[in-house]
Chain A
Amino acid sequence: MNRFPGHNILPYALIFPTVAVIAVFLIVPFVQAIYMSFFRISPFGRVRVYTGLRNFEELLRSPEYLQSFLNTMLFCAIVIGFGLGIALFIAVLATQKIRGAAFYQVAFIWTYAMSPAIAGVIWALMFDPSVGIFTALLETITGFRLNFTTDAVGAFLLVTIASIWIMLGYNICFYIAGLQNVPNELKEAALVDGAGPWKAFWIITFPMLSPTTAFLIFVNTLYAFFMVFGMLDVVTQGGPGQATEFLVYKIYRDGFARLREGQAAAQSVFLFIMVASIAGFQIWTSTKRAVYSR
Chain B
Amino acid sequence: MRSLRHVLITLLVTMLALGTFASAQQVVDFWHGMTGSRVAVLEQVVGGFNEIDPNMQINPVLMGTYEEGLARFLGAYPVGQEPPLIQIYEVGTQAMHDSGMIIPAYQIPERLGEEWDFGQYVGPIVRYYSRDGNLWSWPFASSTSMLYYNADHFRAAGLDPNKPPTTWDEVHEYGLALQAAGVVRDVIGFGWPDWQFEQQLALHDQPYVDNDNGRADHGTQVMWPTEFTDTLFAKWSAMAADGVWLYAGTEYSPNSGFTSGTLTMMLQSTSSLDGIMRTVGDDFEVRTAFIPRFNEYPRGNSIIGGNSLYVSDKASDAELRVIFEFFKYLARPEVDVFWHKNTGYFPATNAALKQLMDEGWFQESPNHLTAFLQILSGRTDNGNVVGSRIGPFVDARDHIRVAMEDASRGVAPRDALNRAAERINVLLQEWLEFAQ
Q: Which among B95, B98, B395, B434 has the greatest number of chain A C-beta atoms within 10 A?
A: B434
CB proximity of B423 to chain A, nearest CB, Å: 9
B78: A residues at CB distance < 8 A: 44-45
Given contacts A129-B257, A240-B405, A258-B394, contact A44 B249 (CB under 8 A): no
Taking A40-B434, A258-B71 as known contacts, 5 extra A-B pairs with beta carbons closer than 8 A to each other, sorted by chain A number, are A130-B257, A150-B253, A239-B250, A256-B71, A256-B75
B435: A residues at CB distance < 8 A: 42-44
A149 within 8 A of B: yes
B100 within 8 A of A: yes
CB proximity of B102 to chain A, nearest CB, Å: 11
Identify the B interface with A (CB < 8 A).
67-68, 71-72, 74-75, 77-78, 95, 98-101, 246-250, 253, 256-257, 260, 262, 391, 394-395, 401-402, 405, 431, 434-436
Rounded to whole angstroms, the CA-CA distance of A47 and B434 in the bound complex is 7
Q: Is the CB of A147 within 8 A of B249?
A: yes
Q: Is the CB of A240 within 8 A of B74?
A: no
**Which A228-274 residues sit within 8 Å CB-CB of chain B?**
239-242, 256-259
Q: Is the CB of A44 within 8 A of B262?
A: no
With both beta carbons as reference points, the residue of chain B lying nearest to A262 in the complex is identified as B434
CB proximity of B115 to chain A, nearest CB, Å: 31
A294 within 8 A of B: no
CB proximity of B99 to chain A, nearest CB, Å: 5
Q: Contact mask A120-157 → B, CB, 8 Å, 1/0?
A: 00000000011000000000000000010110000000
A99: B residues at CB distance < 8 A: none
Q: Is the CB of B68 within 8 A of A257?
A: yes
A49 within 8 A of B: yes
Q: Is the CB of A257 within 8 A of B394?
A: yes
Q: Is the CB of A43 within 8 A of B74?
A: yes
Q: Is the CB of A257 within 8 A of B67?
A: yes
Given contacts A45-B78, A47-B434, A258-B394, contact A149 B67 (CB under 8 A): no
Rounded to whole angstroms, the CA-CA distance of A203 and B72 in the bound complex is 55
Rounded to whole angstroms, the CA-CA distance of A257 and B69 in the bound complex is 9
With both beta carbons as reference points, the residue of chain B lying nearest to A145 in the complex is identified as B185
B257: A residues at CB distance < 8 A: 129-130
18 CB < 8 A contacts A-B: A40-B434, A43-B431, A44-B77, A44-B78, A44-B99, A44-B100, A45-B78, A46-B100, A240-B249, A240-B250, A240-B405, A241-B405, A256-B75, A257-B68, A257-B71, A258-B71, A258-B394, A258-B395
Contact of B247 among A43, A47, A150 (CB under 8 A): A150
CB proximity of B313 to chain A, nearest CB, Å: 12
B262: A residues at CB distance < 8 A: 130
CB proximity of A32 to chain B, nearest CB, Å: 15
Q: Is the CB of B256 within 8 A of A130?
A: yes
With both beta carbons as reference points, the residue of chain A lying nearest to B253 in the complex is identified as A149
CB proximity of A60 to chain B, nearest CB, Å: 16
A44: B residues at CB distance < 8 A: 74, 77-78, 98-101, 435
CB proximity of B233 to chain A, nearest CB, Å: 17
Chain A interfacial residues counted at CB < 8 A: 22
Rounded to whole angstroms, the CA-CA distance of A44 and B435 in the bound complex is 7
Q: Is the CB of B260 within 8 A of A130?
A: yes
CB proximity of A158 to chain B, nearest CB, Å: 13
Contact of A259 among B71, B248, B253 (CB under 8 A): B71
B250: A residues at CB distance < 8 A: 149, 239-240
Rounded to whole angstroms, the CA-CA distance of A40 and B98 in the bound complex is 17
Rounded to whole angstroms, the CA-CA distance of A40 and B191 in the bound complex is 35
B98: A residues at CB distance < 8 A: 43-44
Rounded to whole angstroms, the CA-CA distance of A42 and B95 in the bound complex is 12
Q: Is the CB of B249 within 8 A of A149?
A: yes
Rounded to whole angstroms, the CA-CA distance of A19 and B100 in the bound complex is 41
Which 10 residue pairs are nearest across A and B when measured between Cβ atoms?
A149-B249, A257-B71, A42-B434, A150-B249, A45-B78, A149-B253, A44-B99, A130-B260, A43-B435, A150-B248
Rounded to whole angstroms, the CA-CA distance of A257 and B74 in the bound complex is 9
Rounded to whole angstroms, the CA-CA distance of A114 and B260 in the bound complex is 31
A49: B residues at CB distance < 8 A: 434
A256: B residues at CB distance < 8 A: 71-72, 75
B71: A residues at CB distance < 8 A: 256-259
Rounded to whole angstroms, the CA-CA distance of A242 and B68 in the bound complex is 17
B431: A residues at CB distance < 8 A: 43
CB proximity of B401 to chain A, nearest CB, Å: 7
With both beta carbons as reference points, the residue of chain A lying nearest to B70 in the complex is identified as A257
CB proximity of A180 to chain B, nearest CB, Å: 46
B395: A residues at CB distance < 8 A: 258
Rounded to whole angstroms, the CA-CA distance of A281 and B257 in the bound complex is 48
With both beta carbons as reference points, the residue of chain A lying nearest to B78 in the complex is identified as A45
CB proximity of B14 to chain A, nearest CB, Å: 39
Given contacts A42-B435, A45-B78, contact A241 B256 (CB under 8 A): no
CB proximity of A93 to chain B, nearest CB, Å: 41
Q: Is the CB of A241 within 8 A of B248?
A: no
Q: Is the CB of A43 within 8 A of B434?
A: yes
Q: Contact mask A62-73 → B, CB, 8 Å, 1/0?
A: 000000000000
Q: Is the CB of A129 within 8 A of B256?
A: yes
Rounded to whole angstroms, the CA-CA distance of A229 and B145 in the bound complex is 33
A241: B residues at CB distance < 8 A: 401-402, 405
Rounded to whole angstroms, the CA-CA distance of A4 and B106 in the bound complex is 74
CB proximity of B162 to chain A, nearest CB, Å: 29
CB proximity of B68 to chain A, nearest CB, Å: 7
With both beta carbons as reference points, the residue of chain A lying nearest to B261 in the complex is identified as A130
Contact of B248 among A42, A47, A149 (CB under 8 A): A149
Rounded to whole angstroms, the CA-CA distance of A47 and B435 in the bound complex is 8
CB proximity of B351 to chain A, nearest CB, Å: 37
B101: A residues at CB distance < 8 A: 44
Q: Contact mask A183-206 → B, CB, 8 Å, 1/0?
A: 000000000000000000000000
Rounded to whole angstroms, the CA-CA distance of A40 and B436 in the bound complex is 13
**Which A45-81 residues sit within 8 Å CB-CB of chain B?**
45-47, 49
Q: Is the CB of B100 within 8 A of A43?
A: no
B77: A residues at CB distance < 8 A: 44
